[in-house]
Amino acid sequence: MNIPQIPKGFRDFLPQKMSVRKRIISLMTDVFESYGFAPLDTPCLEYAETLEGKYGEEGEKLIYKFEDRGGRNVALRYDLTIPLCRVVAAYPELSKPFKRYQIAPVWRADKPQKGRFREFYQCDIDIVGTDSVYADGELLAITDTVLKKLGFDNFIIRINNRKVMNAFALNSGLAAEAVTPFLRSLDKLDKIGAEGVLKDLRDAGLLPPSLEKSLSEFILTGSADADSLSKMAAIAGATDTGAAGMAEMEKIRETLQACGVSESNYRFDFSLARGLDYYTGPVFETIVTEPKIGSITGGGRYDNLIGLFSRTPVPATGSSFGLERLVTVMEEKMSAGNTAGSTEVLVTCFDEALMAENLRLASMLRSAGIRTEVYFKKTKLKKQLSYAANRGIGLVVIMGPDEVNDNRVTLRNMVSGTQETVLQNKMTAKIQSMLSAK
């Protein structure tokens, strides 16, 4: 006998969990499409070299790689961004700007722990082929729309800009090759705190006095107010790139205001580094503060990434929703009473000799758009009713020989426990009114 188990970090989703996942995905899809995004799907398996060298040292170790029977080195998809870059390079005929969404599993051989899995879904939106920062702003407006529609009010979209941070680092006395290590230290802020970041930089010899002063004054403090902005403008804005980055941040603010995003739901934050090295402009992430579930989206502009697959560089920006944390919260919110997509009516079996009648009634109900199951076996009615109760089916149709002779059926409301008998030709209308009264 095989033991019915699955590898650690992988999951089965039974119907109740699936119904929450499907509802979130369907809501996201509707929002994405309302902004003109179109679906894309890519293989779960890519050539290993397509993924290698894209995710940094740590990420590289987590790629599921293997040799197929033909001796090819292949790998399970690690994210949805690199496959998109490959697609854009492979199909230059795609009309630009190309706005696509992809909602699909990715795999990482990470250490499984609470809330972290080896197989999990990403929900990505990307705009490819425009360097307009309004595109970045739109991604954030979409984030706002999705979260609001899911019923979240307390979240903050944190926004920073790599052009600003690069100029800031250089103008604070760091060498060009020190910028990435600087951002990597900054990225650890959540884990090691402000003192930790300063120590990290000091130990690495990357903390000139002016940098230390700025970090303490208006960077490691998080949220950037008007004063922080003008301090940053004075340092980063001294070079063209930095000034351009500051202007981009203002355009993002303009976009969010025009799209009706509340000021309480976003903020500029110079402490936001985002781990990946490939970002070139705006970077962003969203934190849900109530309930406290942490980061649920992340992304940024990556104007040089598609160039790894194509002679023609193509600008692009994207944002990724992590489905798993959203699901955890939504499962509680949706909890009881969530019967979307599930069976509405059970037609019970009094006697198998009446099965043809039962099947006919069920077909009638389905034709009227009512989700209907037939119980296939003659068993005690009590057992059939308890099946309906377990499945959360609210209405049961009972038909014995008396009812058949009278062209009637008995309808049982499983919530109230009441029953009534109606003519078969009135059954559909009666059930429709009972369902809509719920």
Query: Residue 94 corresponds to which tokens in the numbers above?
Result: 């795609």
Q: How far is the CB of 167 from its own copies (least distance, A)?
A: 23
- The phi and psi torsions of 100 (rounded to 5 degrees) equal -130, 150
Q: Cβ(208)–Cβ(173) under 8 Å?
A: yes
Quick check: 290 binds its own copies (CB under 8 A)?
no
Amino acid (one-letter) located at 393:
I
Q: Cβ(399)–Cβ(409) under 8 Å?
A: yes
Q: How far is the CB of 280 from its own copies (least distance, A)?
A: 17
Q: Cβ(45)–Cβ(74) under 8 Å?
A: yes
Distance CA 438, CA 342 (A): 15
Quick check: 91 binds its own copies (CB under 8 A)?
yes
Stretch 349-378 residues interacting with its own copies (CB under 8 A):
355-360, 363, 366, 369-374, 376-377
The region of 44-52, 176-184, 237-245, 429-437 touching its own copies under the rule CB under 8 A is: 44-52
| End-to-end Cα spacing for the chain | 47
Quick check: 382 binds its own copies (CB under 8 A)?
no
Stretch 131-150 residues interacting with its own copies (CB under 8 A):
132, 134-135, 138, 141, 145
Going residue by residue from 242 to 281, which x/- string records binding to its own copies, judged by CB under 8 A? ------------xx-xxxx---------------------
Q: How far is the CB of 231 from its own copies (least distance, A)?
A: 27
Quick check: 79 binds its own copies (CB under 8 A)?
no
Q: Is the peptide bond before 97 cis (omega within 30 degrees of 0)?
A: yes
Query: Residue 286 corresponds to which tokens in the numbers above?
Result: 């969203």
Query: Residue 327 corresponds to which tokens in the numbers above?
Result: 């699901």
Distances (CA, A) of 185 to 160, 193, 215, 273, 296: 16, 10, 12, 9, 22
Q: Which is nearer to its own copies, 180 or 343 (CB)?
A: 343
Q: How far is the CB of 192 from its own copies (least distance, A)?
A: 28
The region of 90-98, 178-186, 237-245, 275-283 touching its own copies under the rule CB under 8 A is: 90-98
The region of 98-106, 153-161, 219-227, 326-334 touching its own copies under the rule CB under 8 A is: 98-106
Distance CA 351, CA 348 (A): 9
Q: How far is the CB of 244 from its own copies (least distance, A)?
A: 15
Quick check: 398 binds its own copies (CB under 8 A)?
no
Amino acid (one-letter) located at 41:
D
Q: By CB under 8 A, name the one of 55, 79, 80, 99 that touches its own copies.
A: 99
The region of 5-13, 153-161, 201-209, 321-329 touching its own copies under the rule CB under 8 A is: 5-13
Q: Cβ(409)–Cβ(361) under 8 Å?
A: yes
The region of 89-97, 206-214, 264-272, 419-427 touching its own copies under the rule CB under 8 A is: 89-97
Number of residues that bind its own copies (CB under 8 A): 97
Order of strands across the sheet that contains 372-374:
372-374, 345-347, 395-398, 408-413, 419-423
Q: Which is nearer to its own copies, 44 or 229 (CB)?
A: 44
Q: Which is nearer to its own copies, 195 or 263 (CB)?
A: 263
Q: How far is the CB of 199 from its own copies (least distance, A)?
A: 33
Q: Which is nearer to its own copies, 308 or 422 (CB)?
A: 308
Q: How far is the CB of 125 from its own copies (least distance, A)?
A: 13
Stretch 294-353 residues interacting with its own copies (CB under 8 A):
308-311, 341-343, 346
Stretch 153-212 residues interacting with its own copies (CB under 8 A):
none
Distance CA 104, CA 54 (A): 19
Q: How far is the CB of 286 from its own copies (least distance, A)?
A: 19
Distance CA 259, CA 138 (A): 8
Q: Which is nearer to its own copies, 48 or 194 (CB)?
A: 48
Neighbours of 143 (CB within 10 A): 25
Q: Which is nearer to its own copies, 10 or 291 (CB)?
A: 10
Residue with tokens 């058949």: 404
Buried b (16+ CB within 10 A) or exposed e, 59-84: beeebbeeeeeeeeebbbbbbbbbbb
Q: Which is nearer to its own copies, 95 or 205 (CB)?
A: 95
Distance CA 279, CA 265 (A): 23
Distance CA 164, CA 169 (A): 9
**Sign, CA torsion 100/104/109/111:** positive
The region of 30-38, 170-178, 232-240, 325-333 touching its own copies under the rule CB under 8 A is: 30-38
